[in-house]
């Protein structure tokens, strides 16, 4: 069972997929590329070279831009989905990007860097970093609520366990930090009222409920 979980975890790390109709974008950390799949035919239509060790990928709501987090290059590749070409390369050094998310209005990109415990905030109008926010240790996932007022960051290690940090997007400050019993590996964006998201540790099957107005909640086992 442990071997199976490790194998599934490896697959999730090697291939990350998001959609921008009618295409899906899948990163490959091995060869530093993004495969573009036509979702109508499930056929790879092109392969786009990006930076080294691409992990995170996110597409804006308009479906016009795909943002690729290049872990080993401390950068984000910006793909024009109309032409499926890289049109910009944003330096976020020293951020080793793992998780990446775009605000609903497309004006901000949030990049979580695993080792340094920071989140880079990018203004998409200029493709420049406008803020660097300290968060908990080992942030590997990030999500934005639909209103664009809160950013949720999953910390896979915080105080030797796990946790999540909530950023106030109106002033780019870490509003709260809440511990979990186990490391948080991924975060789903809030989609319902009251705004809720789930921080998940797949290996340990631990979940925590996040709300738009953050309140401390301990993770409970889903076993």
Same domain, 39 and 146: no
Extract the residue ranges of the chain whose pLDDT is less than 50: 1-14, 158, 160, 183-185, 191-223
Same domain, 60 and 98: no
Of 61, 90, 119, the position where a domain reaches its end is: 90
Q: Give strand ranges (E) for the chain.
A: 15-20, 23-28, 33-38, 43-49, 54-59, 65-70, 75-80, 85-91, 97-102, 108-113, 118-123, 128-134, 139-144, 150-155, 162-168, 173-180, 186-187, 196-201, 206-211, 220-221
Q: Do residues 33 and 79 make contact, with C-beta atoms less than 8 angstroms apart?
A: no
What's residue 44's pLDDT?
94
Return d(Cα 205, Cα 74) in angstroms, integer.
31
Return d(Cα 37, Cα 24) in angstroms, integer.
5
What's residue 217's pLDDT?
32
Nearest to 118 by CA among 129, 108, 128: 129
- The 10s digit of each residue's pLDDT in 129-170 is 999 999 877 888 899 999 999 998 888 764 545 678 889 999
Q: Do residues 141 and 174 make contact, with C-beta atoms less than 8 angstroms apart?
A: no
Same domain, 185 and 172: yes
Same domain, 17 and 59: yes
CATH code assigned at 60: 2.40.10.480
Same domain, 34 and 107: no
Report the DSSP pairing between strands 186-187 and 65-70.
Answer: unpaired
Nearest to 140 by CA among 160, 161, 122, 118: 118
What's residue 164's pLDDT?
80
What's residue 116's pLDDT?
83
Domain that holds residue 186: 92-223
Q: What is the CA radius of gyration of the chain?
A: 17
Same domain, 141 and 84: no
**Residue 118's beta-bridge partner residues?**
113, 134
Any idea what DSSP says for residue 126? T
What's residue 97's pLDDT?
93
- The count of other CB atoms within 10 Å of the CB of residue 134 is 12
Q: What is the pTM of this model?
A: 0.73
- The 10s digit of each residue's pLDDT in 32-46 is 999 999 988 999 999
């Amino acid at each position: 069972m442990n071997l199976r979980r490790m194998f599934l975890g490896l697959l999730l790390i090697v291939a990350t997929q998001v959609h921008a109709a009618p295409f899906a974008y899948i990163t490959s950390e091995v060869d530093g590329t993004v495969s573009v799949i036509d979702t109508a035919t499930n056929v790879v239509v092109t392969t786009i070279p990006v930076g080294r060790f691409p992990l995170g990928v996110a597409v804006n709501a308009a479906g016009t831009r795909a943002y690729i987090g290049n872990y080993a290059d401390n950068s984000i590749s910006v793909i024009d989905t109309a032409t499926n070409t890289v049109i910009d390369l944003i330096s976020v050094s020293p951020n080793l990007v793992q998780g990446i998310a775009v605000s609903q209005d497309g004006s901000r990109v949030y990049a979580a860097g695993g080792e340094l415990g920071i989140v880079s905030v990018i203004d998409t109008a200029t493709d420049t970093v406008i803020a660097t926010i300290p968060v908990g240790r080992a942030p590997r996932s990030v999500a934005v609520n639909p209103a664009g007022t809160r950013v949720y960051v999953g910390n896979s290690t915080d105080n030797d366990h796990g946790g999540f940090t909530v950023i106030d997007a109106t002033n780019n400050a870490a509003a709260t930090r809440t511990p979990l019993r186990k490391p948080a590996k991924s975060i789903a964006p809030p989609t319902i009222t009251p705004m809720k998201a789930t921080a998940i540790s797949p290996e340990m099957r631990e979940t925590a409920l996040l709300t738009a107005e953050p309140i401390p909640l301990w993770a409970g086992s889903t076993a």
